[in-house]
């Protein structure tokens, strides 16, 4: 699970860095471009959260909680 989480995080950070480069370019932004990139960042965060939740849920299935 550890390597899955690290791989997922690396992919997420790479995607966010690419989006950041789009926002920080030294050129005039087209109308709606910043909003489009912000929406893409939100979508990336949502995909990351869903994928991470899935990994964690799978780990919980493999290691059920011990009753207290």
Q: What is the largest CA-CA distance in the chain?
A: 59
3-state SS class at 1: coil
Res 68 pLDDT > 50: no
> How does pLDDT run across 14-60, given as a tens digit for each residue?
999 999 999 888 888 888 999 999 999 999 999 999 999 999 998 87
């Amino acid at each position: 699970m550890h390597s899955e989480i690290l791989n997922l995080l690396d992919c997420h950070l790479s995607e966010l860095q690419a989006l950041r480069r789009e926002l920080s370019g030294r050129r005039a932004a087209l109308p709606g471009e910043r909003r489009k990139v912000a929406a893409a960042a939100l979508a990336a965060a949502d995909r990351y959260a869903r994928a991470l939740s899935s990994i964690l849920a799978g780990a919980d299935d493999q290691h059920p909680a011990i009753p207290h």
